[in-house]
Structure 1
Amino acid sequence: MLLSKGNLVLAACLAVLGCKDSGGSGEGQALESRSSQVDLSQASAGFFAHYTRVNSVDIPEKITGPYADIIVNLEGKGKLVFARDHSYRPVWHFGNNSNPVAHLADISSDANTRFDKSNDFSYVRILEQSDEKVVIHWRYFPKANATMGRDPEGVVHEIYTITRDGNVTRLYRPGTDTITDWDVRRGAIIQTMRLTENGIADVQNKSGELQAGVSQSNGNAIVNYTPPGLPVAHWKFDEGKGTSTVESLKSATGYIDSHGGDWIAGVSGSALFFDGYRSAVVVAQDEVPIFKEALSIEAWINLAAYPWNNAPIIHQSDNMGNEGYYFGVSSDGKLLFTVNGKTLISDSVIPVNQWVHVGVSAEKNLSLYINGVLDKSQSYDVNLSTPDMPMIVGMNNSPLPATDGVRESELNEFNHFSSIFGIEGAIDEVAIYKHSLTSKDFYDSYNGFLLAQKKAPDPSFTKRQLPDLEKYPQKFGGIYTKLDFHDAWDNLWRVTDNEDIVVRFDNKPISYVYWRGTSHGMNLVTDNRWMSDQSVELVIPDPDDPETPVSVNPIVSLAEHMSDKAALRTHVRMIENTPARVKVHWRYAAADVFDLLVMDTAYIDEVHTIYPDGVAIRDVFYHPAADEGGVEFYQDFQWLLGPGQKAEDFLNYNAVSIAGLKGDSSDIIYPISLDRPSDGADPSPLPGNIAVLNSQTNWKVFGVSQAGGFFPSANEESSEHIDFLGGIFPFAGPWNHWPIAQIPSDGRFSVANDRVSHFAVGNLEAFEYGSGSMMYGFTQGTPVDLQDLAGSWISPPVIDAVQGVKDNAITFITDERAYSLTSDGVSGDISLLVKANDSSPLVNPSLIIRQWGTSKTPKVKFNGKALSDVKLGIIRDTDGSQTLIVWLPVTATMDSSIEIIRDSVGER
């Protein structure tokens, strides 16, 4: 998302100094205040794993939150620690001794120090834990830099399965050049060991590779048809497997450079699928025909999306076509042919997701054909000069900028850059001629093929679409999974089956989704409508400005989670996953599209606490701003459009309704333009800190800020190519430089509805108030229906301790929407008095009861009545102690009582 002029200033202020919070109490800021002192020399009773922060003189605490590290406690034997001071390499602590596990990767620095200095690219997660085993995932780059991280062989994943008796199975999985090798775990090692009171024992290694199955060819039946005339080269792509393809007439070899997964069913036999970022077929110059006076080409193509700029079906050129020939597709889906600097572009647009026959004839005229019909022609005497370079199918050989960049005239050098890309889709049956084909030739070729096949060719691959969430059960809880988008995109990455997180709810078709495709940011999804959000967004100031602090790195760009397109510095973890709540930790860095940090401390920790009622609190903590009281810009309602979706499919012009804590709500009718003051300052927001997004779905997304107002997105920055109900697009966007896209751009307007894109409707003034947290959720009502819920969070009722609370201290943690207290360890049961009223209502409260001291859950009463639908969970706090989480589905506007009754005192 791009910032308005006013927000640019705010973001620059944040990047340099951090901007002070302007209001709110900021009680109980979870991320900055809670750090645990952990004794690693002694193991506690029990077998369990927990998140914590192991303090170290070497680690800059400024850039890490309370959940940075993991400790696995083993039954009094010791602690297996995954901590930052070794870039999360596990170290076995037994008594006063420690023993790190041996590195299996080739680490370029001292193995006993942290090789990833700031733990930029390393992380650990607890994937699973029970009474019998704990499963930990460690991801790292052996050469800890962004360049190596983009190399598919530059990543390593390790999975540790630790059992109660101290046995460990370690699966080491290095990245592989192709997805084919990744799927069979090429280079993997399975290591077993025992953790004992005397150290690590019985270490054994064996191959962890899986036996590759028999390679199966992918293809339809071969269609017997005769190309017109006599081609000098015919690339049929009928091998169906392998990493090369052979031309059928003179046996020239084309070498396939790709991530794998190239072969699909074609119009005849098999075809090649191109991912748009790496896939190419390269044929050496001495194996391709030489053209001088005439040239014709025909091919079948099936576009998954239109390219970012011109992309070739086949070419032997300097990429710009100034020398040689270039037959391809433009960014708006038109067929084009360039020969020695002269270009012809079709009038017609090639449709996506279907096989299309395309052709060009070049001699006295340049003529383009689509499905056997002449589309466009012009006079031009061809005099080919073939450059000294190979012939390439599907990929450019030099960088181009994507078309339709935002702010190109103002900040092009900093915001929209060139890269090498190609066709995204399939290519089959490429025939090349040294003479000019006639209109009849192209007509006969297209129709002759259809007659021979006896039907139109099938699409051959699944259409791209946002991940399907309905396969996950409607039961409250978080799920580690790997969300699928499309094979060609999914194959770009070497990730485990636990890359993403989906949180589902009891009997409600709603989800919170943390997906690599959206840089792991939070998405609220219902009826396949995705609402995403902004992150901390920063403009990096000019390093040559004398007022810019030396801590700012010497680059000028825009930094946000959207810039991390390869998810190098972003990850998500479930800190809690119980029936009472799910707590998701999202960590990312403020880096630009070239993976450069704003400054060395520019990291953000967000903790999202999600409750069974579908309400989540998003706590945002930007570390450089910690001393100044909070964060600034991070919230912006952004809808995602899947391929083929349009905004009018689920929105009307009254796209947002807003209200305050009291009074009526009002609709915002788009397009809207906020009046700017004459002095150029930011316009005032519309009053209201509760916003409901009026999607045409049963459940609607809402947001609540702690105070302030709502800034609607004006359509001053919107695509001229995308309409809304036949008129101008009324919102900001849509842009398709994010999500999914891998181009180095922080602003590119959509030119069609062919890709995943996003558009913005506005933001709540979350950045000026409170402790850096926002409320989100789903509703079937209006903003007025949410006023009590919002009030219970913004102005929560006081709860007094009657019995069983240490020091009678109860604190409301705004950033978790929960009351925090500690059991006194004496009284057993806990009694509380809630002082609720109309101004401070109680709505579905949550209790965090620390030092609970047992794995047994209690009975809960509200106003003397036992609750059957209360949700309870036992977690390990950052100090390893047992903590009880209670979520009560109750409401009240008068004094009420809560009782927590232990079944038995045991296990203390």
Structure 2
Amino acid sequence: MPQTTPSDMAFRWSAAAEQPDFVRHGHAVPAAGLDTAAALNFDGFSAYVAAPPPGALPGAFHVAANVALAAYPWNVCPILDVLTLERDGGESGFSVGIDDRGRPRFALVTLSGLHVVNGETALNLHQWHRLVFAFEPEVALSITLDGVEIGRTSISGRYRPSEAAQALIGRTRHEIIPTGPIRPYAHLPITVYFDGLIEGIAVGSGPAPATTAKVEGRADIAPRRLPTGPAGAGRFGATYEHLKYYDGWDRRWRVGEHPDVLVRFDKADYRVVFWRGTNYIPCWVSGDGIWYTNEFNETWGNGATGCAEPMSDKHCAYSHVRIIESHDARVVVHWRYALVDVLDVRPRKDLVSGWSDFSDEVYTIYPDGSATRSITLHSTQPMESHEFQESIVVLGPGQRPEDVLEIEPVTLANMVGQSHTYSWANGRPRHLPEPARANIAMINTKSAQRPYMIVSDAPCLTRDDGAQPGPLFPPYYHETLSEGQSFPWWNHWPTSDIPSDGRRAVAADRASHSSVLTGSEWADYKVTPTSRQRVMLHGLTTRKAEDLVPLAAAWLSPAPINGLSEGASAAFDPLEKAYLLSGSAELSFTLQASEASPVINPAFVLQGWAAGATEMVIDGQVRPEGENLRVGWRHSAERSDLIVWVELSATVPVAVSFRPRR
């Protein structure tokens, strides 16, 4: 606890002592202190202490505090505040606190006006520090950090005693605007709360006590790691989970026991995470913990303040996720969301029905990790400006974009196997023109398992560039880059609750994100007067981008079916990446595989299948159920469908039949 002579004490608060005049608000829990047995853990969302302001301070005085930061504030946050400004009726008092970069700040009013000194050194996160702020009348304000002076400024005039009705520990007196806005009009004021530990605060008359004691000790702050469920490979399938981040964040959510969805794989150590901390925006997570998402639908204008997107749905009021199928053959997850801005406004509202823009995304995921993403935008204006894709890496506390992205972050490839890798070393390129008609994009994360997406290479209509002969992959615009950064970096999402659609990150203190591609365009799958649908194939891979051409061909130009049993029907559905079969109790056909239309791990949906136990025969050989052949059932009120996935690669015709098990 900071030491001050008791007879000279004007104010003293200790987390270890019961003090009736010091009232705790919000969520703050005890933690181990530096000098005493106890500190108070302020959660950064609601916790603060209100108290009577310090008594008379006729001459020199100082403020001493032991603090440890879990994250830097969104703007200057007081440790102790008794400062009033013009909005309160007049300037008086002082405030000591921490700015958005972790640097101490001392503001004080004298008869000559407001004086401010900023410390030149930032506090380390999760580390105890001893701070002393000193006022010498007509001489200086100074700040000492762990016995070393880090800030000093000359002042004039005597101290103007505080007229504040109460002292505040750990929060701002008024709402203020977070620093670092991308779009100031969509970056709104908040009350800023202290995120970390405060052991005690003492305000004493006279000069600050001299100290040379070295401050050491890691603070009692739990690690903050983005949740991914159990480590390692696991049973293939989707499960409802309660994925936990850290206590102060978790306890704010008004949810039940199963709010999140986790998809795991038995063939590889990666997963797909649908977590409320990302507003259910689905993320592929590699075995070494690198998070990636292909974004969502987004729009602008038409009543929106800034961007309208699921990122802004801080309480997941409109964003929901549910498991449609989960069995040995595949997983199907449905994510539905509204396009909403930071003021909870849903733009593009239909004047007749009152409906605004909503989106349904369906993820069909197979045991080999390949997955389709079907995106259906529902809108009165579906062909107006909407975004369908952005390549985003999600970063946990302690990570910067450069920690997870290679300086050559994007490789594009086309269907003839040409590829080109782009470097951001000299700034992000303005265009990515090579190779021609590229439809495969790989994001080069610092992992062996890298995200990829495959789209149709057909001509497409883009929102900004009109008709194009093939897909378009624009690099993220450079205007949001901060000095010295190779990649843009923001922390208004994920896990944040601030009303902002863009805040520049300045430190790796919070969860954050970065992008390299934005607004990718490709051919629509289906358009109606009130909807627009697109589909992609995506996942994680250890292969090179150009090596994904056969996978792309198997999906975009699937092997035709010939010789189908009489009375049966067959079609390939790219939304499910599966052959749909119906019409017979026993099916036989040939997959006409070729170099141009290969077969790679196909799936089959036997619609209305009534044969019960079934066996699959490939080129005359019964393929037993197991790791390489998996089956599952999809039941509805009208029929039951058998789903079959098989590990099989071929560029020559393959004879296939399904029949009752013998």
TM-score where L is the length of structure 2: 0.88
SS of residue paired to 1:508: coil
The answer as to whether partners of 2:585 and 2:610 remain within 8 angstroms in 1 is no
SS of residue paired to 1:652: strand
The partner residue of 1:402 within 165, 178, 181 is 178
CA apart distance, 1:766: 4.1
Specify the alignment match of 1:785 in structure 2: 547
Could you give the per-residue CA deviations for residues 207-253 of structure 1, whole angstroms, max 9, x where no partner exists?
xxxxxxxxxxxxxxxx8x854564233222126xxxxxx33xxxx42
Over 3 Å counting, the alpha-carbon distance change for 1:764 and 1:597 in structure 2 is closer
Distance in 2 between residues matched to 1:685 and 1:305, nearest whole Å: 43
Distance in 2 between residues matched to 1:683 and 1:593, nearest whole Å: 35
Matches within 5 A, 1:513-592: 513-526=273-286, 527-541=288-302, 554-592=303-341
Distance in 2 between residues matched to 1:818 and 1:388, nearest whole Å: 69
Matches within 5 A, 1:872-887: 872-877=631-636, 879-887=637-645
The partner residue of 1:729 within 460, 466, 485 is 485
More deviation, 739-748/371-380: 371-380
The partner residue of 2:441 within 669, 691, 713 is 691
The partner residue of 1:867 within 606, 623, 634 is 623
Aligned amino acid, residue 316 of structure 2: A
SS of residue paired to 1:443: coil
Specify the alignment match of 2:29 in structure 1: 262
CA apart distance, 1:369: 1.0
Distance in 2 between residues matched to 1:882 and 1:580, nearest whole Å: 15
Q: Give me the identity figure in percent.
A: 28
CA apart distance, 1:890: 0.8
CA apart distance, 1:472: 6.2
Determine which structure has the larger helix proportion and give its number: 1
The answer to whether 1:668 aligns with 2:436 is no
The root-mean-square deviation of aligned C-alpha atoms, in Å, is 2.6
Specify the alignment match of 2:206 in structure 1: 436
Specify the alignment match of 1:485 in structure 2: 245
The answer as to whether partners of 1:302 and 1:426 remain within 8 angstroms in 2 is yes
Matches within 5 A, 1:361-440: 361-364=134-137, 365-380=140-155, 381-407=157-183, 412-413=184-185, 415-433=186-204, 435-438=205-208
The partner residue of 2:15 within 225, 231, 237 is 237
Aligned amino acid, residue 739 of structure 1: P
Could you give the per-residue CA deviations for residues 577-614 of structure 1, whole angstroms, max 9, x where no partner exists?
10111111111100101111112332111111111010
The answer as to whether partners of 2:474 and 2:518 remain within 8 angstroms in 1 is yes
Aligned amino acid, residue 297 of structure 2: V
Distance in 2 between residues matched to 1:629 and 1:483, nearest whole Å: 37
Could you give the per-residue CA deviations for residues 182-223 of structure 1, whole angstroms, max 9, x where no partner exists?
xxxxxxxxxxxxxxxxxxxxxxxxxxxxxxxxxxxxxxxxx8
Over 3 Å counting, the alpha-carbon distance change for 1:556 and 1:458 in structure 2 is closer
Distance in 1 between residues matched to 2:430 and 2:341, nearest whole Å: 31
Specify the alignment match of 2:102 in structure 1: 333
Distance in 1 between residues matched to 2:609 and 2:384, nearest whole Å: 31
SS of residue paired to 2:549: helix
SS of residue paired to 1:464: coil
Specify the alignment match of 2:467 in structure 1: none
Over 3 Å counting, the alpha-carbon distance change for 1:765 and 1:461 in structure 2 is closer
The answer as to whether partners of 1:800 and 1:810 remain within 8 angstroms in 2 is no
SS of residue paired to 1:349: coil
Specify the alignment match of 1:324 in structure 2: 93
Matches within 5 A, 1:6-405: 226-228=3-5, 230-238=8-16, 246-247=18-19, 252-258=20-26, 260=27, 262-267=29-34, 268-284=36-52, 288-318=54-84, 322-340=91-109, 341-364=114-137, 365-380=140-155, 381-405=157-181
Distance in 2 between residues matched to 1:764 and 1:540, nearest whole Å: 16
Over 3 Å counting, the alpha-carbon distance change for 1:257 and 1:857 in structure 2 is farther
Distance in 2 between residues matched to 1:343 and 1:685, nearest whole Å: 56
Distance in 1 between residues matched to 2:657 and 2:128, nearest whole Å: 67
Distance in 2 between residues matched to 1:535 and 1:384, nearest whole Å: 54
Aligned amino acid, residue 644 of structure 1: G
CA apart distance, 1:903: 2.4
Over 3 Å counting, the alpha-carbon distance change for 1:431 and 1:688 in structure 2 is same
The answer to whether 1:702 aligns with 2:478 is no
Over 3 Å counting, the alpha-carbon distance change for 1:443 and 1:504 in structure 2 is same
CA apart distance, 1:312: 0.9
The partner residue of 2:560 within 798, 811, 822 is 798
Specify the alignment match of 2:462 in structure 1: none
Distance in 2 between residues matched to 1:370 and 1:227, nearest whole Å: 16
The answer to whether 1:744 aligns with 2:491 is no
Distance in 2 between residues matched to 1:810 and 1:593, nearest whole Å: 47
Distance in 1 between residues matched to 2:260 and 2:64, nearest whole Å: 42
Distance in 1 between residues matched to 2:136 and 2:382, nearest whole Å: 70
CA apart distance, 1:468: 4.4
Unpaired runs of at least 5, structure 1: 1-222, 240-245, 451-455, 542-553, 677-681, 722-727
CA apart distance, 1:352: 0.8
SS of residue paired to 2:292: strand
Distance in 1 between residues matched to 2:587 and 2:121, nearest whole Å: 74
Distance in 1 between residues matched to 2:542 and 2:304, nearest whole Å: 46
SS of residue paired to 2:485: coil
**How many residues are aligned here?**
620
Distance in 2 between residues matched to 1:764 and 1:789, nearest whole Å: 24
The partner residue of 2:368 within 603, 606, 613 is 613
CA apart distance, 1:799: 2.1
Over 3 Å counting, the alpha-carbon distance change for 1:719 and 1:265 in structure 2 is farther
Distance in 2 between residues matched to 1:354 and 1:590, nearest whole Å: 40
Specify the alignment match of 1:774 in structure 2: 536
Distance in 2 between residues matched to 1:846 and 1:323, nearest whole Å: 73
CA apart distance, 1:782: 0.7
Specify the alignment match of 2:461 in structure 1: none
Distance in 1 between residues matched to 2:402 and 2:100, nearest whole Å: 24
Distance in 1 between residues matched to 2:502 and 2:31, nearest whole Å: 33
Over 3 Å counting, the alpha-carbon distance change for 1:303 and 1:892 in structure 2 is same
Distance in 2 between residues matched to 1:507 and 1:330, nearest whole Å: 47
Could you give the per-residue CA deviations for residues 513-542 of structure 1, whole angstroms, max 9, x where no partner exists?
11111111110111111112321110023x
CA apart distance, 1:499: 1.3
Over 3 Å counting, the alpha-carbon distance change for 1:318 and 1:497 in structure 2 is farther
Distance in 1 between residues matched to 2:319 and 2:85, nearest whole Å: 34
The answer as to whether partners of 1:304 and 1:464 remain within 8 angstroms in 2 is no
Over 3 Å counting, the alpha-carbon distance change for 1:461 and 1:797 in structure 2 is same
Distance in 2 between residues matched to 1:763 and 1:336, nearest whole Å: 38
Specify the alignment match of 1:842 in structure 2: 599
Over 3 Å counting, the alpha-carbon distance change for 1:458 and 1:351 in structure 2 is closer
TM-score where L is the length of structure 1: 0.65
Over 3 Å counting, the alpha-carbon distance change for 1:362 and 1:768 in structure 2 is farther
CA apart distance, 1:713: 2.2
CA apart distance, 1:828: 2.4
Distance in 2 between residues matched to 1:318 and 1:574, nearest whole Å: 53
Over 3 Å counting, the alpha-carbon distance change for 1:819 and 1:621 in structure 2 is same
